[in-house]
Structure 1
Amino acid sequence: MTTLENNHRLLAAAQIVLRLAIGFLFAAHGWQKFSQFTIAGTTASFTEMGVPVANLVAPVVATLELVGGIALILGIATRIFGALLALDMFGAIVLVHAQGGVFVAEGGFELVLALGAGAAALALMGPGSWALDRLFVRRKGAQRDSVNA
Structure 2
Amino acid sequence: MLNRPLPKPAADVGLLLARVLLGVVMFAHGYQKMLINGIGRTTDGFENLSIPLAIISASFVTVVEFLGGFLLIIGALTTLVCGLMSVVMVGAAVFVHIPKGIFVANGGWELVGVITVGLLALAAMGPGRYSVDRLVREYQSRQREQTLAFARG
Correspondences of 1:56-71 after superposition (within 5 Å):
56-71=56-71
Say yes or no: does 1:119 pair with 2:119: yes
Deviations 1:63-116 (A, max 9, x none): 100111111100000011011101110111011110111122211112211211
Q: State the alpha-carbon separation in 2 of the partners of residues 96 and 120 from structure 1.
A: 20
> The residue matched to 1:36 in structure 2 has which SS?
helix
Superposition deviation, residue 21 in structure 1: 0.2
- The answer on whether the counterparts of 1:50 and 1:96 sit within 8 Å (CA) in structure 2 is no
Q: State the alpha-carbon separation in 2 of the partners of residues 146 and 28 from structure 1.
A: 42
The percent of aligned pairs where both chains have the same amino acid is 36
Q: What code does the residue aligned with 2:132 have? A: L
- The answer on whether the counterparts of 1:102 and 1:110 sit within 8 Å (CA) in structure 2 is yes
Give the count of matched residue pairs: 146
Larger Rg: 2
Superposition deviation, residue 123 in structure 1: 1.1
Please, which moves more after superposition, 15-24 or 112-121? Answer: 112-121
Q: State the alpha-carbon separation in 2 of the partners of residues 115 and 35 from structure 1.
A: 23
TM-score, scaled to structure 1:
0.93
Q: What code does the residue aligned with 2:59 have? A: P
Any gaps of 5 or more consecutive residues in structure 1? Answer: none
Instruction: Tell me the residue number matched to 1:100.
Output: 100
Superposition deviation, residue 122 in structure 1: 1.1
Instruction: Tell me the residue number matched to 1:138.
Output: 138
Instruction: Tell me the residue number matched to 1:45.
Output: 45
> The residue matched to 2:9 in structure 1 has which SS?
helix
Say yes or no: does 1:90 pair with 2:90: yes
- The answer on whether the counterparts of 1:19 and 1:72 sit within 8 Å (CA) in structure 2 is yes
Say yes or no: does 1:32 pair with 2:38: no
Q: State the alpha-carbon separation in 1 of the partners of residues 67 and 55 from structure 2.
A: 19
4+ residue segments displaced more than 6 Å: none
TM-score, scaled to structure 2:
0.91
Superposition deviation, residue 8 in structure 1: 0.8
Q: State the alpha-carbon separation in 1 of the partners of residues 125 and 85 from structure 2.
A: 15
- The answer on whether the counterparts of 1:104 and 1:111 sit within 8 Å (CA) in structure 2 is yes
